[in-house]
Chain A
Amino acid sequence: MLLIECPWCGPRAETEFSYGGEAGIARPADPDALSDAEWADYLFYRSNPKGAHRELWNHDHGCRRWFGVERDTATYRIERSYVLSHTGSDAATGSDAATNAGTGYSSGNGD
């Protein structure tokens, strides 16, 4: 069970959160102007990487805030969690609000 650092509430068990998919999928400004293929790309296609992945999580059994998490999909190590940017539609560009570095919770062999 993952230990996820909510930027507002601190480290909590995964059971308090729900997963919101890949971060940084901006909704097109004018969906009507898009071709079917372009719209399908926004709707269905995700990067699905092995390794670093920026994703959305919601502390829905806590403070109800959505935030970003950078997680390695192969090791499940969480590099950081961050407050979403309020500057535009790209939710992936956020400032570091909290990271797990140094806590030892998910830092592999520690130091």
Chain B
Amino acid sequence: MTAAQPNRLRQNGRIDRTRPLAFSFDGKAYEGFAGDTLASALIANGVSLVGRSFKLRRPRGIVGSGAEEPNAIMQIGEGAAAQPNLPATQVGLYDGLVARSTRGWPGVRFDLGAINDVFGRVLGAGFYYKTFMYPRSWWKHYELAIRKSAGFGQAPEGPDPDRYEHMNAHCDVLVAGGGPAGLMAALAAAKSGARVMLADEQDEFGGSLLAFAASIDGAPAAEWAAAAAEELRDMEDCVLLPSSTVFGYYDHNFLTIAERCAGSPDSSVGGGVRERLWRVRARQVVLAQGSLERPLVFCNNDRPGVMLASAVSTYIKRYAVLPGRRAVVFTNNDSAYRAALSLAGAGAEVAAIVDSRPGGAGDLGLRAQALGIPVHAGHVVTDVAGRRRVTGASIAPWNGESWENVESTIRIDCDLVAVSGGWSPAVHLHSQAGGQLAWDDSQLCLLPAEARQANVSAGAGNGQWSLGECLADGLRAGAETVSRLGLKTAAIRVPGADANAGEKLIEPMWRAPAASDADRCPRQFIDFQNDTTVADIRLAAREGYRNVEHVKRYTALGFGTDQGKLGNINGMAVLADTLGKEIPEVGTTTFRPAYTPVSFGVCAGESVGELYDPVRTTAIHEWHVAAGAPMELVGQWHRPWYFPRDGEDLDAAVARECLAVRNSLGVMDASTLGKIDARGPDVVEFLERIYTHKVGGMQVGRCAYGIMLGEDGMLMDDGVMARAGEQRFYLTTTTGGAASVLSWMEKWLQTEWPELEVYLTSLTDHYSTIAVAGPNSRGLLEKLGCDIPLDKERFPFMTVKPAVLAGMDVTLFRVSFSGELAFEINIASNHALAMWRTIMEAGVEFEGAPYGTETMHVLRAEKGFVIAGQDTDGSVTPVDLGMNWLLSREKDFLGKRSLRRPDSLRKDRKQWVGLLSLDGRTVLGEGTQLVGESGEPAAMCGHVTSSYFSTSLGHPIALALVAGGRGRNGETIYAARPGLEPLPVQIVSPVFYDRKGQRQHV
């Protein structure tokens, strides 16, 4: 062993000793080899203390070697690229890796929070709930302190510099897990012609074969695995994903896989991506994720140096590191004897095998005894000594009774306790998919039972423990998917491997007895990550928690990254014992995605920064950008908000733009309005049913303002419609309503009135709209050169005409959303920018100004024009808005019947009114609550929906929904202001400017 890596074995292991890698942990430099995980490299360097526990701050060491690791949760990397919350057992070592323990302040070796352990008894189950309840107003102080001391790592500072991507894939068979069963299933399916994807969380295929001495067809099993993976890789239509964890199983066989790309040379698609999320729709799924070993429950079983027996074997065989020099092996089944043999083979002393079963093990027991290892059958470890590292184990004979106190009779010095409480099949994905679980009373585990989706379980995850059984079960599962797919199964032989001949069955030992009773003895941990102990579960049961889901939430059992991997079964068993029930009666908690922690980066994929959301821009957008207009987001549209000149702010620019429209000329890009072409023999009948006004009365060439209601009678959307022909209409919608209105119309047409022949086509992107508003708008168009007369007799308000303007084909609408003389120019989007530029040049003479959405809002508010979605919220009827004149009495329309519902007729409904601040200067905040009296407390009677300063009028204006508002004209009510006296406001008409509406008719 080298001095630099004192626990590194001299030979074997799947590491590359020619490639040393430097890394650091908590600021100290170490060295490992290519092929190490961070965990194996830490063990090689003799680092046994890797973190502090969540609540009690007890020192903790590495327990496992894979996804189940509860303690070695690390912060990897620094600065913006840091990743919190990664198990060291799943972080492949690379040169320059910087790791920090995520818990322990100021450091893991000296942690102030460890005082929690001293005051231990107070911190039982539900401690936070009970202690920090009162006084309630103090919770905000408690919360800060609790949050500081809790958590796994820190959020990185700054945007993540790494790239992530998403990949969609389809396959016939997805195999989750590339151990012996998964490889066989993949071979069976792929050789039968199925399109196969095989994912495994390790960077090499083979699963347990990489960590145990076994042979297949007479050769080392790892060689068989490598050959099988190679054979699959060479096949067409077979995708191999190493370093990839299938973490979620959703409806209709949709699964998600997180692939770690960096440091993974086998990654099927390479290059510059840190992690990749695969979204896979599989026709069939084989779940071959193997099984997870359970710890045993005894006093101080969380001390660094207590490690799962399978992890001990894995570290020795796969990584060539020795986790301890003098070991005690504690088990209730045969599998841990392999760890004893591995330890002995690697030169460690196995001081004792402590087996709770009176009869001990089968053949493996004989092999251990042949090596001279003392075996204490019918004994248990009751306690371990040592704080930052195990120094010894106390052993007592066991009569099969968990809850009677015992005195330990033997004390053995050791620095490692390898434990095995049996194996739990990784049923997580099966359960996520909605599958049933069944308790197996002889194997003492939950097995996958009836599946709800198209999936089959195989191998150790299906309760098949020996290598021979795993290979055969994998083949069976693969063949099963092949036959379900209707393919012909290729003939494949099960390779020869040892069955576990001469093994003895596991026997239950859910809690080792101690010198004092279960509520007073040193802590016996069920869930290391969440510091849940036997005493906590018993306390929860005493306090009345019976349901396992409630006990979970009260004690935090199975929270965090654990998700039931280590403590679930032991916790169920202890709860069952405490309640006097059988384990299946208690049942298990629900397994939910994600199986292992998933980074936010890979969830977001490419959808960050500019790609966060699709961006829609108008054909004129580049002009707005060049003009320096800040953009307002309206749905996905980027619309110019205002056009500042000479360093103007929003208020100054809007004041100038408003006056330009009112006094001379303003131009706006209104292209984002929804546009729908509706035509067909039944178009009039169809629109009569959708819109509230009499559509049939409109002459060709006429425009009308129209509103549509939901069947509940509430205003849904509005817009101008134009009759372009006898059987053809041109409809506009609000910017935000364009898609939903089209979908709404199609729904009625397709599902309710299929007898109507009407065709709807969206024209929103095909045509652009330029609004030209103000007293000089007609003069501008005339200057541009228009082939039709524009005077008010021949082209009156609310009409539409095709025209040639400045040499370009347009449709001219004489409509106004500002109350001024105005035209809307509809033009094919390819020509819109040219038209806009032409207008801007010609407009200079009139001192015209482009204006943005803010000015549009002010101008329409001055006129009392409603904006659906701002002044309405789905609870406002047209009667509330004072739009009775739009409601036809002669026909039915959607929502009409609802206007007679008792609730629609309530006298105290909120109605839309105008408000004036009586101080003449305060612009009310939109959303401000209105009250009837100035004193407190006062009942709310409404709220402000729109509010601006009107430069044209010289004072603020607001629009509001006020209970019974239209009958309260002239009344003074009050606007609530946080921290200030309520402001008196007067209810007025919502039309502030040009009440008679003459300006738009000139």
Contact = CB atoms under 8 A, between A and B. Distances in A.
Interface of A: 1-3, 13, 18, 20, 23, 26-27, 31-32, 34, 36, 39-40, 43, 56, 58, 60, 64-66, 75-76, 78, 84, 86, 89, 91, 103-111
Contacts of B253: 3, 105-106
Nearest to B480: A110
A110 B455 CA distance: 8
Given A1-B250, A1-B252, A1-B254, A108 B897 contact: no
Highest count of chain A CB atoms <10 Å: which of B283, B481, B484, B897: B897
Contacts of B454: 104-110
Nearest to A1: B254
Given A34-B897, A76-B252, A104 B750 contact: no
Contacts of A60: 739, 743
B752 A39 contact: no
A91 B251 CA distance: 26
A7 to B, nearest CB: 12
A23 B284 CA distance: 31
Nearest to A34: B897
Contact of B252 (A3, A23, A84): A3
B10 interface: no
A96 B908 CA distance: 50
Contacts of B754: 84, 86
A26 B712 CA distance: 15
Contact of A104 (B452, B484, B739, B902): B484
A39 B750 contact: no
Nearest to B751: A91
Interface residues of B, number: 36
A100 B896 CA distance: 40
Nearest to A40: B901
A59 to B, nearest CB: 10
A110 to B, nearest CB: 4
A68 B161 CA distance: 46
B451 interface: yes
Contacts of A104: 283-284, 454, 484-485
B484 A18 contact: no
A102 to B, nearest CB: 8
Nearest to A27: B752
Given A108-B451, A109-B454, A31 B281 contact: no
Interface string B402-441: 0000000000000000000000000000000010000000
A66 B250 contact: no
B746 A76 contact: no
B747 A2 contact: no
Contacts of A89: 752
B622 interface: no
B892 interface: yes
B897 A31 contact: yes
Nearest to A110: B484
A86 B753 CA distance: 8
A31 B485 CA distance: 51
Given A64-B746, A103-B283, A107-B454, A91 B484 contact: no
B484 A111 contact: yes
A56 B452 contact: no
A72 to B, nearest CB: 11
Given A58-B743, A104-B484, 17 more contacts: A3-B253, A3-B254, A13-B254, A13-B281, A31-B896, A32-B897, A39-B898, A58-B746, A64-B746, A66-B746, A66-B747, A84-B750, A104-B454, A108-B452, A109-B454, A110-B454, A111-B483
Contacts of B892: 31-32
A106 B747 CA distance: 27
Contacts of B898: 39, 43
9 contacts: A3-B252, A58-B743, A60-B743, A66-B746, A86-B754, A89-B752, A104-B284, A108-B451, A108-B452
Given A58-B747, A91-B752, A108-B451, A36 B901 contact: yes
Contact of A76 (B251, B750, B755): B251
A3 B254 CA distance: 8
Interface in B748-768: 750-752, 754-755
B453 A108 contact: yes
Nearest to A92: B751
B230 interface: no
Given A3-B252, A31-B897, A66 B711 contact: no
Nearest to A32: B897
Interface string B240-282: 0000000000111110000000000000000000000000010
A89 B959 CA distance: 41
A111 B482 CA distance: 11
A94 to B, nearest CB: 10
B336 to A, nearest CB: 36
A91 B451 CA distance: 34
A65 B451 contact: no
Given A39-B898, A60-B739, A2 B252 contact: yes
B347 to A, nearest CB: 50
Contact of A56 (B484, B712, B751, B900): B751
Nearest to A105: B252
Contacts of B485: 104
A77 to B, nearest CB: 8
A33 B308 CA distance: 75
Contacts of B751: 20, 23, 56, 66, 84, 91
A77 B578 CA distance: 39
Contacts of A86: 754-755
Contacts of A58: 743, 746-747
Contact of A39 (B281, B434, B484, B897): B897
A56 B254 contact: no
Interface in B711-759: 711-712, 739, 743, 746-747, 750-752, 754-755
Nearest to B481: A110
B277 to A, nearest CB: 13
Contacts of B254: 1, 3, 13
B140 to A, nearest CB: 39
Contacts of A20: 747, 751
Closest 8 CB pairs of A and B: A110-B484, A31-B897, A3-B252, A66-B750, A91-B751, A86-B754, A1-B254, A104-B283
A66 B745 CA distance: 11
Contacts of B284: 104, 110
Interface in B132-150: none
Interface in B2-57: none
Contact of B750 (A13, A34, A40, A65): A65
Contacts of B283: 103-105
B455 to A, nearest CB: 8
B678 to A, nearest CB: 14
A71 B712 CA distance: 27
B746 A2 contact: no
Given A1-B254, A58-B746, A84-B751, A39 B451 contact: no
Nearest to A3: B252
A75 B772 CA distance: 57
A63 B254 CA distance: 23
Contacts of A109: 450-451, 454
B752 to A, nearest CB: 6
A33 B454 CA distance: 51
Nearest to A4: B252
